[in-house]
Copies of this chain bind each other. A is one copy, B any other.
């Protein structure tokens, strides 16, 4: 009756339903890292806007230096000296040269630079050049970095730190990018208090809202907090409707007791014409995870237990955030380790086990992974762990000494 799926199946069901956010906004360069271009970024002008010397020396016409050597230098007449940041107000005629510093502008007519080491001033305007240069030598020509109109970074490109120099060279300080996905974060439960409020007996602080917000923000999306909703079916359904109309993805956690479970499933199912996408996942922790649609917006119903909510966000929501941003899926950072002891697991149900990484005594490169066992419902395990491992539902556990893939936490 209940539609229970595996963790990988749940991921695929959700991935098939998610579409990239197409709303756009203009942002400044300093905020561009990690964002995705909504249009080709084109150069508005030639960069650099003039022919630039790459060495200190004499700007020349290359043809005037052909065959020059120590014993038979070319003799040129200094037409002028150019300072950094200045535009030459003269033209270089055959037989002439000009002193230009590295980065300075070449006068019209010049097509190469001779390094100052291969020149000699005979006094006054007369200079000797002892090496030949070809046109283009030791200069950057106008437009060599970017020609006006050129597509420098294509639409859909995710901007990296290494691209910021390019944006600066283009003077692109207003950049059209796709908006960050808006992710609604809702916690349910009469026993929850916001972190800012003092604790009262019978209540606990809401861990999931801040914990999931940080994961969402790290993934490049915008967490929108809808606060704590009491265990009232109508109120919850109303908040879900509002959140789904305002956000691109809804994460709602809680509802782990019998009555609440029904509320949450009913409130999610009430949003759409369809049934739930799945109703439970064969994974521990994370079993009571459910999902549904409100229009084309996914609502992911997470367990209330913080460890389970965190793992399900990590494995199910983060890939959706990549897709919403039009990014290639971010591969979780992994390493291979040897497990320190036998870990039992149930056939038919995948297990996710938090582990601590310990450098192995034998070799510098090898890691040992030690499972961090805690009672269900505690949140200490996350802080004590460096990552987690997944044990397949086809295994009844893994033996001490087995090689495992550890997915690292950040």
Residues of A bordering B, CB below 8 Å: 29-30, 33, 45, 47-50, 52, 54, 56, 83-88, 101-105, 116, 140, 144-146, 152-153, 160-169, 171, 173, 189-192, 195-196, 198-211, 213-215, 218, 231, 256-260, 304, 306, 310, 375-380, 382-383, 385, 409-410
Assuming the contacts A190-B85, A203-B85, asked whether A168 and B103 have C-beta atoms less than 8 A apart, the reply is no
CA distance A32 to B58 in the complex (A): 55
Contacts A140-B377, A199-B45 hold; do A162 and B101 have CB atoms under 8 A apart? no
Please name all residues of chain B whose beta carbon is closer than 8 Å to the beta carbon of A103 when the two chains form the complex.
189, 191, 204, 256-257, 304, 377
- Chain B hits for A104, CB < 8 A: 191, 202, 257
Given contacts A164-B214, A167-B210, A168-B211, contact A190 B84 (CB under 8 A): yes
Question: A191 with B257: in contact, given A160-B409, A310-B162, A382-B163 (CB under 8 Å)?
Answer: no
Once the chains bind, are A161 and B218 in contact (CB under 8 Å)? yes
Nearest first, the 3 A-B pairs at minimum CB distance are A165-B211, A101-B257, A85-B190
Decide: B102 and A171 in contact? CB cutoff 8 A.
Answer: no
CB within 8 A of A257: which of B84, B195, B376?
Answer: B84
Q: Which residues of B contact A385 (CB under 8 A)?
A: 162
Q: Contacts A103-B191, A257-B102; is A30 near B214 (CB within 8 Å)?
A: yes
Known pairs A56-B258, A161-B214 / 20 extra A-B pairs, C-beta < 8 Å: A29-B195, A30-B214, A33-B218, A48-B204, A49-B199, A50-B201, A52-B377, A84-B231, A85-B190, A87-B201, A101-B257, A103-B204, A103-B304, A103-B377, A105-B201, A146-B380, A160-B409, A160-B410, A168-B205, A168-B211
Instruction: From the candidates B144, B160, B208, name the one contacting A378 in the complex (CB within 8 A).
Output: B144
